[in-house]
A and B are shown apart, each in its own frame.
Chain A
């Protein structure tokens, strides 16, 4: 999975989003150790301070935690992960209905269409 930034938005916000995505989709597995800030910054080609800031935000959210000597780990709290997954799903769903409404579909019609396509 590559890193992709829109330089019109704060980069740390985009890092938080993309790191969250990686955690929730299991690219970084629950309980696993994350690469160092330096390595991740180099991989994403972003400023290490910006990466650090994004990590701090994810720690705040409980998705990451630091162990003093051994580094930074992904949470293994399945309840939290599932809660975050549902929140992310909710934003995708909201975006879906918003875009469908822009195309002229009422929510029920949009849902019916989605069901039909999903069943294929």
Chain B
């Protein structure tokens, strides 16, 4: 934990920050009083069971929905076209047109995002053994997800928001995903991985945000949490969210 003074000095530096952030849907509370700040160079976990508000938080960061109260800031600004250019978002549901060929998707991302690196995407796609001429729908579900991850990680963004990137993939695919995320590590960028499958990503996280019923139940440096609790993040998760 940082002292107040250090925290103030860090403030200018946050890549992703929430201040007393709340969001309601009708009368239903999705997020309430969420506060955190992530500086550059982190790979952080947004950890919580289904319905805890993870996707709501990510949608707020992308400017897809607006806060009911409080603030969400990307590189110090509320979501706007400039922050969207700096935010690479991998949604939790497939949203690419599966009739498209992989090479056309690469082209489309290049036209959409000035910071997209088509060469990096091609290299990673080739490493997967996927033919660029293939249409997305002819690929396996796991490969479709990997293609989308590759497209997302091939942007030179400041903030990467990965919503459930390893939902139900096999161990080899998990390893590919982890390797891709680590291979893309940039000291000036921050990656936030939302998941309820903590054991799968535990070793690559350096910060954990536990979300329960729309509120931060626990947050901190991953190794500091392990040290003080003598538990893995996965065990801690089971304890925090015990029914």
Q: Which residues of A come within 8 Å of B, CB atoms?
A: 5-13, 38, 41-42, 44-50, 53
Contact = CB atoms under 8 A, between A and B. Distances in A.
Interface in B139-162: none
Interface in B187-243: 199, 202-206, 222-224, 226-227, 230-235
Contact of A7 (B43, B206, B227, B233): B233
Most buried by B among A6, A9, A10, A13: A10
Contacts of B26: none
Contact of B182 (A7, A8, A48, A53): A48
Give the top 7 A-B pairs by smallest Cβ distance, nearest first. Answer: A7-B232, A10-B223, A47-B206, A42-B182, A49-B206, A10-B227, A8-B232
Most buried by A among B178, B232, B235: B232
A105 B202 CA distance: 40
Nearest to B175: A45
B185 to A, nearest CB: 5
Nearest to B203: A46
Interface residues of B, number: 26
Contacts, number: 62
Nearest to B41: A49
Nearest to A8: B232
25 contacts: A5-B203, A7-B233, A8-B226, A8-B230, A8-B235, A9-B226, A9-B227, A10-B223, A10-B227, A13-B223, A38-B182, A38-B185, A41-B185, A45-B175, A45-B204, A46-B204, A47-B204, A47-B206, A47-B222, A48-B41, A48-B43, A48-B185, A49-B42, A49-B43, A50-B223
B162 to A, nearest CB: 15
Given A38-B185, A41-B182, A7 B203 contact: yes
Contacts of B222: 11, 47, 50
Most buried by B among A5, A11, A12: A11
Interface of A is mostly: helix
Nearest to B183: A42
B133 to A, nearest CB: 30
A46 B230 CA distance: 19
B107 interface: no
Contacts of A45: 175, 178-179, 182, 203-204
A91 B148 CA distance: 48
Given A7-B203, A8-B230, A13-B227, 20 more contacts: A6-B232, A7-B202, A7-B226, A8-B231, A9-B226, A10-B223, A10-B224, A11-B223, A11-B226, A42-B182, A45-B182, A46-B203, A47-B43, A47-B206, A48-B185, A49-B41, A49-B43, A50-B206, A50-B222, A50-B223
A7 B202 CA distance: 7
A38 B41 CA distance: 12
Contacts of A6: 232
Contacts of A5: 203
A7 B234 contact: yes
A84 to B, nearest CB: 23
B223 A7 contact: no
A7 B199 CA distance: 9
Nearest to A48: B185
Nearest to A5: B203
A53 B203 CA distance: 14
B231 to A, nearest CB: 6
